[in-house]
Homo-oligomer: A and B are copies of this chain.
């Protein structure tokens, strides 16, 4: 009722979507501006809708209001031996409702899948003030159209999520992290394939960090890498229910990859502090790159076989205009974070990068926005990843649900 009144009272609304992922923090061009008012919007704060409603330890199903801080929700789940199946660098500040609105990805998609798979139900306030109850507490519920997905990833342009139910996973008692150095991207791919083969069900993250990305976080934050710098590094995490079994699997995998010559050097740990130190090398890259001066940030999905090709290609294309062209990200999800840093903003450099990078992505049938959505800044690039028929249908759905265009206006669609 509270929400209904609010929506009915205002005639122009945008959702306050909190940070989507750690890479989204920093306010640079890589941000899509999905939550930024750009003209005459009214900001709707959801902050008081922050209650955890229920956590069922047997089924693993948890429900909460939309403005629960992800970290708080996860902490409550962990008290019952469960883990919320989404993890982001921004978890201490982001709202789970915002995570849904942006279909946030993050670090554990490889293990837990995406939100379309784990969200079981939502409550949504529509543009006309209708409270749409699509809550469900069941993994299997085939009663009519699966409308909830329209609100997952539509960046608040179709409705305002006020409540949700999500399927949590059993918390893993054992976590190991390996950090390894490799000479070629071919070895990276072979190692990923072997990680899937030998680590199977315990593989929970597989991140790529190239030489220049690691150099950025190490130097800008005065960190210490456990191994010297290689052209490529992989952070491979396992999460399982038996530390001895997990350790055996991991050692067997590493031995195999070292014998084959793909992994040149590496370290493994299950100590919490050491794991955190290793994750810092990866998680601090986005902000470290901003410290270079200015950073153009891109978040794309590319076929794994040609995943890294764009980095040297772009380096050649921008030449000396850039300080650093580097690639890192969620290799296990084919999601590359491609960054170009420079001393200060340069229009010339910008025009060398865009639309070049999107044209390259489109040629490979990649996605011009893997995690961060379309927002305000990528509207013109939507056509590189979506067919004209799909964009037409998006417009029709928008018109159906928000005919006056009051929900997060100026975003996603032109």
- Chain A residues in the interface with B (C-beta under 8 A): 56-60, 81, 102-103, 105, 109, 113-114, 116-118, 130-134, 136-147, 149-150, 152-154, 158, 170, 172, 189, 192-193, 196-202, 239-242, 245, 248-249, 301, 303-305, 330, 333-335, 365-374, 378, 382, 385-387, 389-391, 393-394, 396-398, 400, 412-413
Contact = CB atoms under 8 A, between A and B. Distances in A.
A370 B142 contact: yes
Contact of A146 (B142, B152, B335): B152
A146 B248 contact: no
A132 B388 CA distance: 9
B370 A140 contact: yes
A136 B367 contact: yes
Given A116-B116, A138-B370, A144-B391, A201 B386 contact: no
A143 B382 contact: yes
A143 B366 contact: no
A241 B249 contact: yes
A198 to B, nearest CB: 7
A119 B398 CA distance: 23
A134 B132 CA distance: 26
20 contacts: A116-B117, A131-B389, A132-B387, A132-B389, A133-B390, A138-B370, A139-B333, A140-B334, A140-B335, A142-B374, A143-B368, A144-B386, A145-B153, A145-B158, A147-B393, A149-B150, A170-B196, A197-B241, A201-B239, A241-B249
In this complex, which of A158, A301, A398 has the most chain B Cβ atoms within 10 angstroms of its Cβ? A301
B393 A132 contact: yes
A143 B240 contact: no
Given A330-B140, A393-B132, A201 B241 contact: yes
A228 to B, nearest CB: 27
Contact of A390 (B59, B134, B200, B390): B134
Closest 4 CB pairs of A and B: A117-B117, A200-B241, A149-B149, A138-B301
Contacts of A197: 81, 170, 241
A172 B201 contact: yes
A58 B305 contact: yes
Number of copies of this chain that the complex holds: 2
Contact of A149 (B105, B146, B198): B146
B154 A371 contact: no
Contacts of A372: 142
In this complex, which of A116, A248, A391, A398 has the most chain B Cβ atoms within 10 angstroms of its Cβ? A116
Contacts of A365: 137
A134 B241 CA distance: 38
Contacts of A153: 142, 145-146
Nearest to A396: B400
Given A116-B146, A117-B117, 10 more contacts: A81-B197, A103-B142, A132-B389, A134-B390, A137-B365, A140-B301, A143-B368, A145-B158, A200-B242, A245-B245
A393 B130 CA distance: 11
Nearest to A249: B242
A242 B145 CA distance: 40
A241 B197 CA distance: 8
Given A367-B141, A400-B397, A132 B249 contact: no
Given A130-B389, A170-B196, A367 B245 contact: no
Contacts of A412: 144-145
Nearest to A158: B145
A242 to B, nearest CB: 6
A382 B149 contact: no
Nearest to A190: B58
A109 B113 CA distance: 13
A334 B374 contact: no
A371 B330 contact: no
Contacts of A303: 56, 59, 137
